[in-house]
Amino acid sequence: MTKISGKEQLLAWREKHISEKQFVLVLSFIVGALSSLAAVVLKSFIHLIQYFIERYLIAGEHEFWYFICPMIGIALAALFVHYIVKDDISHGITKILYAISQRKAIIKAHNMWSSVVGSALTIGFGGSVGAEAPIVLTGSAIGSNLAKFFRLDQKTMMLMIGCGAAGAIGGIFEAPIAGLVFTLEVLMMDLTMASVAPLLISSVTATTISYMFTGTEPMFILRTIEPFAISRIPWYIVLGIVCGFASLYFTRGMNYLEQWFKRNIRSWGLKIIVGGVTLGVLIFLFPPLYGEGYDVISQLINGESQSAMTHSPFALLGDSEWLFIGYMIAIILLKIVASVSTNGGGGVGGIFAPSLFMGALVGFVIARVLNILGVIVPESNFALIGMAGLMSGVMHAPLTGIFLIAELTGGYHLFLPLMIVSVSSYLIMKLFEQHSLYAMRLAQKGELLTHNKDRSILTLLKMDNVIETDLTIVPPEMTLGELVKCIAAGRRNIFPVVDKEGKLCGVLLLDEVRNIMFQPRLYNRFTVRDLMTSPQAVITNDMPMEKVMELFEDTGAWNLPVVDSNKKYLGFVSKSKIFESYRHVLVHFSEE
């Protein structure tokens, strides 16, 4: 008698006593709770390392530790990834989008803990990145692997990934609404009645658990803040436009520097040295680049901006107003260099914190310049709202920017300027970049699942599912007489012509030989090589389905051959087969 395992007994009990819809709600609660606990562990780990460094190293006025510590953190994280994880765990949000689009919502199990350790080492020692993307990947991995354990379908696994992301944002920021809208905007989940409830459960559960450990105070406590004034709307629009261009600089600069690191520095050991030294020098010259930068944000929104020059060599140059503004602009421009040096050197972190940090500085600088020129505006308000502007532009997520900043600061009475700046920044960014920094890498490869239904379904279609291999292959040396026998035995009106090496030479259409196929006297005069034609277009097996459909539209063809990278024939794809698969996927993903 076969013994049933404990897992099988659990699954059988669940299927018998808990319906699918009820179980999804229960699982969303569990995913939210675990994601929040992971966020608490990560924040505690980071604060523990920072406490040790600040208490025993930097506290003794040993500023050179600003140079040393980040390099130590990058080295430890790189060694951890290289020897223990043995997998790439950077670009957390991009990995989630790839899993949703291309891996049937499957995220590797090690991501449930590896990003927590890697990012804690990186940020705790002063890496100039954020902990949010790693914890979002952690939460999504928890959701994916729990759904996989209980053998849920792909659609439910995608929902659990979203629940993990919503729980992670809710847990680390104590921002339940931002957790929900982040999942809908950035991870591009569809807003349906079946998805809203689980996402809300995860987000609210995570936030509540975070409250239990860290209290209910907002992340950034505002001591003084001026109420919204209608007369300042034009200046908020200006801030939004500047944030849009700053977002463009952030996105393109980050992407360019990351590609430069990959192309020019191959050795992971050399990456540690180059990234660590670069980051150390930057932090020594500009201490606000140390760590996530949330302390600096608190100083800016509470009128303590001069603290940003503490420990900086530039403080010796005096206290000129314009020198200070130039100092802050330099930090804005160099933030992406510090972040790329951190991740490129082997550290683990995301762009949440860098975008918030840079946004606060952009808002502050705009306000300070306006005040110098005689236009009186509140610097605290502009710093706060600038965070929403940068986040909206960089992530292509205006709702996330609006609700996150409102929840982080308790500045709900500034909703209107938050909306003005976020939407202005987003619209400027969309003029230049169709996709966010997270999504552009996948979009360039045609691997991105989006809110566009047609493109999403085409992304989900795979070449293996639509390729047809039942066509009769004929060699170019075959005579017309032999071809007629193949036509009589075949069921298709198109014949791929393939040489001895398996490479596609052309295609032969029945219509092209219909007028001579009943003339026996010509059977030995013509060969297939004489009668074949070039295909209207050729599809490669790694071509995105969206590009395949563009070829069909451009050529007007109904059948096109498929070859591999070596031009070897693999089969044919028909437009009717794609439409059939499209309808099948559409029906599956439209079910509630």
- Closest residue by Cα to residue 458 from 548, 554, 537: 548
> For 278-284, what is the mean pLDDT?
90
Q: Among 131-145, 324-338, 339-353, 532-546, whose mean pLDDT is lowest?
A: 532-546
Whether the predicted pLDDT of 168 surpasses 60: yes
- In a shared domain, residues 381 and 443: yes
* 404 exposure class (CB count in 10 Å sphere: 0-12, 13-18, 19+): buried
Q: Which two tokens stand for residue 39?
A: 């966020």
Q: What CATH number should be reported for the domain holding residue 513?
A: 3.10.580.10
Calculate the dihedral angle through the C-alpha atoms of 326, 328, 331, 336, rounding to the nearest 10 degrees.
Answer: -110
Question: Does residue 222 lie within any of the structural domains?
Answer: no
- In a shared domain, residues 161 and 244: no
Whether the predicted pLDDT of 62 surpasses 80: no
- In a shared domain, residues 87 and 196: yes
Question: Does residue 224 lie within any of the structural domains?
Answer: no
- Give the pLDDT of residue 411: 74
Residue 305, classed as helix, strand or coil, is: helix
Which has more confidence, 110 or 526? 110
- In a shared domain, residues 442 and 476: no
Contact indicator for 435, 443 with CB cutoff of 8 Å: yes
- Give the pLDDT of residue 17: 74
Residue 290, classed as helix, strand or coil, is: coil
* 500 exposure class (CB count in 10 Å sphere: 0-12, 13-18, 19+): exposed
Q: Among 213-222, 343-352, 360-369, 393-402, whose mean pLDDT is lowest?
A: 213-222
Q: How far is CA 99 from CA 96, 109, 168, 226, in A?
A: 5, 13, 17, 44
Please identify, among 214, 244, 272, the residue that sits at the C-terminal boundary of a domain.
214
Q: Which amino acid is at 116?
A: V
Whether the predicted pLDDT of 1 surpasses 50: no
- In a shared domain, residues 425 and 479: no
Helix (H) or strand (E) segment spanning residue 76: helix 64-79
Q: What CATH number should be reported for the domain holding residue 236?
A: 1.10.3080.10
- Closest residue by Cα to residue 197 from 447, 427, 24, 2: 24
Which has more confidence, 221 or 30? 30
In sequence order, what E strands does 87-140 have?
none
- In a shared domain, residues 349 and 367: yes
Q: Among 163-172, 411-420, 581-590, whose mean pLDDT is lowest?
A: 581-590
- In a shared domain, residues 409 and 471: no
- In a shared domain, residues 150 and 208: yes
Question: Does residue 574 lie within any of the structural domains?
Answer: yes
Whether the predicted pLDDT of 103 surpasses 70: no
Q: Which two tokens stand for residue 61?
A: 């006025």
Please identify, among 422, 448, 474, the residue that sits at the C-terminal boundary of a domain.
448
Cα Rg of the chain (Å, integer): 29
Question: Does residue 555 lie within any of the structural domains?
Answer: yes
> For 226-247, what is the mean pLDDT?
92
- In a shared domain, residues 444 and 459: no
Question: Does residue 558 lie within any of the structural domains?
Answer: yes
Q: Quote the domain boundaries for residue 24.
A: 6-214
> For 384-405, what is the mean pLDDT?
94
- In a shared domain, residues 301 and 444: yes
- In a shared domain, residues 193 and 238: no
Q: How many domains does the chain have?
A: 3
Question: Does residue 483 lie within any of the structural domains?
Answer: yes
pLDDT digits (tens, 9 = 90+) for 453-506: 455 555 556 666 778 888 888 898 888 888 888 887 777 778 888 988 888 888
Which has more confidence, 12 or 377? 377
Question: Does residue 225 lie within any of the structural domains?
Answer: no
pLDDT digits (tens, 9 = 90+) for 170-227: 999 999 999 999 988 888 666 666 778 999 999 999 999 999 998 888 888 777 677 7
Please identify, among 214, 240, 275, the residue that sits at the C-terminal boundary of a domain.
214
- In a shared domain, residues 272 and 313: yes
Whether the predicted pLDDT of 118 surpasses 60: yes
The DSSP annotation for 378-392 comes to -HHHHHHHHHHHHHH
What whole-number distance in Å separates Cα of residue 52 and Cα of residue 54? Answer: 6
- Give the pLDDT of residue 541: 80
